[in-house]
Amino acid sequence: MAGVCDGRIVIVTGSGRGIGRAHALAFAREGAKVVVNDLGAEVDGTGGSTGPAGEVVEEIRAAGGEAVANGDDISTTDGAANLVKTAVDAFGGLDVVVNNAGILRDRMLVNMSDEEWDAVIKVHLRGTFAPSRAAAQYWREQSKAGKEVDARIINTASPSGLYGNVGQANYGAAKAGIASFSIIAALELGRYGVTVNAIAPVALTRMTENLGMGARAADRPADAFDDTAPENISPLVVWLGSAESRGITGRVFNVAGGRISVAEGWAAGPGADKGDRWEPAELGSVIPDLVAEAAPNAGMGGQRPARA
């Protein structure tokens, strides 16, 4: 199996099902050696099974590829370190980490429990930080030893984190954090030969079937392009994991169906400078005008609404 990632060694977290599974299979088709990490948990993070990861490994091997399974909890320091060790022990190195693992505990803010907040933040945000740190430490050692490093971290944000979605304060906060984390990590790790990017995908999976995606897929004509398929997300991720993407870092990409776009992050908009400290009473005639002049926030589709 040869392709744009021929011979590259890739970790994909949360790759037993859904988008992560599609990533693992796509990397293998393009010649990568894949570590398939998955706890086999339910959508809310409870439970666990070795089955999903093992099934993906067997599918890759049956097609002539190379893969191993890993069941570590990547939101822990030890689990993340062992994940990197799995890649090095099995294949002799590491080139790409795709942080994809996630859960949902959707709830309106006024009803959200501490546990629902903490669980989502841990799996998504710490589950991105810990494997990234473990991999970065490995690559730094390789770089300092004089070895050429051409490595990638690809993180998974979400339109909910970039644009906001009702009922997902925990999930959206974690995903927004991942987007910012990716930009900062890109600034820090470039010196070691590492690029860091993120995607904000839209696809039909266990995590989105109850958010309207399932009904949308059911209404599609049988012969139409399935713009909700998880497999639509993977080509971008595989390319970002390849040597061809060396010059791309610190960016967040929207991807859904056949559409890819670059997310344009926070930027300073209209402003006013008094040249001195403001008095609160003065701002009533300043802030409303600035907000009226500013571009409106984008909606979940990533597009700004038309001005009235």
What is the structure's pLDDT at 164? 93
What is the structure's pLDDT at 49? 43
Q: Where are the domains of the chain?
A: 9-262, 270-308
Name the residue among 264, 208, 265, 211 with its Cα closest to residue 233.
208
What is the structure's pLDDT at 142? 98
Q: Quick one: fold of 9-262? A: Rossmann fold (3.40.50)
What is the structure's pLDDT at 308? 65
Give the CA diameter of the chain: 71
What is the structure's pLDDT at 208? 54
Angle between helix axes 169-189 and 127-144 (nearest 10 degrees) is: 10
Active site residues: 158, 171, 175
Name the residue among 93, 106, 160, 103 with its Cα closest to residue 126.
103
Please, is 136 exposed, middle or buried when counting C-beta atoms within 10 Å of its C-beta (0-12, 13-18, 19+)? buried
Residue the block writes with tokens 């304060």: 169
Phi first, then psi: give them for residue 98, nearest 5 degrees. -105, 110
What is the structure's pLDDT at 45? 39
What is the structure's pLDDT at 94? 98
**Which parts of the chain register pLDDT below 70?**
1, 40-50, 205-220, 308
What is the structure's pLDDT at 41? 41
H or E stretch at 20 = helix 18-29
